[in-house]
C-alpha cells in the first residue's frame, strides 16, 4: 500500500468511479469524494475513504485535500447534450469546484493536480460540418467554446495553467471526448448518445417495437472513447511531463446513424428511425486529433467502437430488462460499506 493519499473528486460518477477502482487496484490510498448520497454513486470502492462533500464550498475543498499528495478533479455538474443545453448556468457553476480545489490544493502543498476538461472547449465554427477536420489542441483558440459547459471547462483550464505558472502547482489537463461504457448514466436526462441509443434499442428489442427516436437527422458526426481507454490515458497524462491540455479521445469518426447501426448489429435487431429535428443536437461534427498524444506518449485510445459498444449494450440491456420487470436497475458495482 502506497502511503501517499490521492483524492478523486466526482468519484461517485461514471469516470471517477472507474478511476478510483484502478487507483485502489494499484495499491494507492484513495479519498473518493462526491456530492451525491452514497447510494447514488455509480461505483463505490470499499477500500477507499468515501466522502460525501459539496466541493463548491471552499471549506469542503480544504478538508478534501488535507494530507493529499495528488488530486484528480473530475467533479462537475454535467450530462449529455440535452442536459447541457438546458442547464447552462448549472454547468458554469462547476467553475467553483475547480477554483476552490486549486486554491485548497495550493495551500495544502499538493504535488500534482489533474483537471478533466472536455472537447466542448473547441470553437463552434470548427465543428459546423459533419465532415469535420479533427480538432487539434491549438484549435481551442481564438476562443468560442460551447455555451455554458464549454466556457466553464476552458476557463478552468486557464486557471490550472496560471496556478502552475504563478504558484508552482503542477497541473495536468486532459480534454475528454465523449466517454462511454458500462455502469454509466443510461436514463433520466443526463445520459450521452451511446448509452441513450443502447437504451432505445434494448427497449425496442425487449418490447417488440421496431422503431426508435433519434435526436437530429442522424448525420451528425462524433468520436466516442471507451471508459477503459479514458482511465488509462488519464493516469498516463497525470504522470507525464506535458503541461498543456491534451486530447484524450478516439479518432474513429462515425455518424449517429453509424452508431445506431453498430448497436443494432450488436443487438441483432435492426430498427427503424424516427428523426426528431427539434431535439438538442450539439455541433454538427467533432473528432479528436491524436497527433499530440501519440507524439508525447506513443499512445492513443485503441478500443474500437464495436468492441466498446458490445460491452456497453449488454450492460444497458440488463438495466432496461430489470426496469421493465419491475426490479431496480444497477447504478454500478455493488455498494461497499466504507462510506462516512
Task: Report, as residue numbers or ranges, the catalytic residues.
Answer: 149
What is the C-alpha to C-alpha distance for residues 295 and 153, in angstroms, rounded to an integer? 24
Contact by Cβ (8 Å): 204, 272: no
- The dihedral of CA 228, 229, 231, 232: what is its sign? positive
Helix (H, G, I), strand (E, B) or coil at 82: helix
Return d(Cα 26, Cα 17) in angstroms, integer: 14
Query: In terms of C-beta density within 10 A (0-12 exposed, 13-18 middle, 19 or more buried), how is residue 144 classed?
Result: middle
Cβ neighbours of residue 44 closer than 8 Å, sequence gap 6 or more: 12, 17, 32, 38, 50, 332, 333, 335, 336, 338, 339
Residues 291 and 294: their CA atoms lie apart, in Å, by: 5
Q: Beta 254-255 vs 221-222: how paired, if at all?
A: antiparallel
| CA distance linking residue 335 with residue 318, whole number of Å | 18
Amino acid at each position: 500500500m502506497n502511503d501517499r493519499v490521492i483524492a478523486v473528486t466526482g468519484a461517485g460518477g461514471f469516470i471517477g468511479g472507474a478511476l478510483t477502482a484502478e487507483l485502489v487496484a494499484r495499491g494507492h490510498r484513495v479519498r473518493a469524494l462526491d456530492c451525491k448520497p452514497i447510494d447514488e454513486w455509480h461505483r463505490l470502492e470499499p477500500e477507499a475513504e468515501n466522502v460525501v462533500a459539496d466541493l463548491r464550498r471552499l471549506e469542503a475543498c480544504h478538508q478534501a485535500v488535507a494530507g493529499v499528495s495528488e488530486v484528480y478533479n473530475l467533479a462537475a455538474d454535467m450530462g449529455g447534450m440535452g442536459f447541457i443545453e438546458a442547464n447552462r448556468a448549472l454547468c458554469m457553476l462547476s467553475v467553483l469546484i475547480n477554483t476552490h480545489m486549486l486554491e485548497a490544493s495550493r495551500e495544502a502543498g499538493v504535488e500534482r493536480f489533474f483537471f478533466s476538461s472536455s472537447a466542448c472547449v473547441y470553437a463552434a465554427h470548427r465543428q459546423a460540418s459533419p465532415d469535420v477536420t479533427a480538432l487539434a489542441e491549438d484549435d481551442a483558440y481564438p476562443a468560442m467554446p460551447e455555451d455554458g459547459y464549454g466556457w466553464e471547462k476552458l476557463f478552468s483550464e486557464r486557471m490550472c495553467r496560471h496556478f502552475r505558472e504563478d504558484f508552482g502547482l503542477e497541473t495536468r489537463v486532459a480534454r475528454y471526448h465523449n466517454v462511454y461504457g458500462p455502469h454509466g448514466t443510461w436514463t433520466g436526462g443526463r445520459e450521452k448518445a451511446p448509452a441513450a441509443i443502447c437504451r432505445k434499442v434494448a427497449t425496442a428489442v425487449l418490447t417488440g417495437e421496431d422503431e426508435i427516436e433519434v435526436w437530429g437527422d442522424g448525420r451528425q458526426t462524433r468520436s466516442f472513447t471507451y471508459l477503459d481507454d479514458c482511465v488509462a490515458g488519464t493516469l498516463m497524462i497525470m504522470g507525464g511531463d506535458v503541461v498543456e491540455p491534451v486530447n484524450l479521445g478516439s479518432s474513429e469518426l462515425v455518424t449517429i446513424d453509424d452508431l445506431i447501426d453498430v448497436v443494432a448489429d450488436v443487438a441483432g435487431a435492426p430498427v427503424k428511425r424516427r428523426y426528431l429535428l427539434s431535439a438538442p443536437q450539439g455541433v454538427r461534427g467533432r473528432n479528436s486529433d491524436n497527433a499530440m498524444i501519440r507524439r508525447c506518449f506513443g499512445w492513443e485510445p485503441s478500443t474500437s467502437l464495436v468492441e466498446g459498444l458490445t460491452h456497453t449494450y449488454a450492460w444497458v440491456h440488463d438495466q432496461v430488462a430489470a426496469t421493465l420487470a419491475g426490479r431496480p436497475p444497477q447504478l454500478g458495482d455493488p455498494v461497499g460499506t466504507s462510506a462516512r
